[in-house]
Amino acid sequence: MPEPVFIGDTMRAETEVTALKESRSRPEAGIVTFTQRDRLPMPADGVIEEEARKKVRSLLFVPGDRSERFEKAAASATNAIILDLEDSVAPERKAFAREAIAQWLGSRALASPSSG
């Protein structure tokens, strides 16, 4: 990203699945190829877009208001964790979910040996 990201920033992205490949050895798994357009932070003059292409075998969606599940998800063997603020969180719990995710990400950043 061209600018730093801080706790409390709003992150926006669009993800488009461009290909699916089934696994012959693991029928419950596969490879998803997608294009992601990140838009963060949102500048006053428009949108910053960067495209990334990644192959992911598994995505784990965790409701943003279920903070007790965050560490377990991070310790799992999944390729990507999505802390969901949309469909899995009731409208009245979205503010709580945003705060829970910000706190958890902040605590992981502080605990990271590469920080500071």
25-74 pLDDT, tens digit per residue, is 777 777 777 776 665 555 544 455 555 555 667 888 999 999 999 999 98
16 φ/ψ angles, rounded to the nearest 5 degrees: -120, 120
90-102 pLDDT, tens digit per residue, is 999 999 999 999 9
Is pLDDT larger for residue 77 or for residue 14? 77
2-26 pLDDT, tens digit per residue, is 556 667 666 666 777 777 788 777 7
pTM: predicted TM-score of the whole model, two decimal places: 0.49
Q: 50, 37 in Cβ contact below 8 A?
A: yes
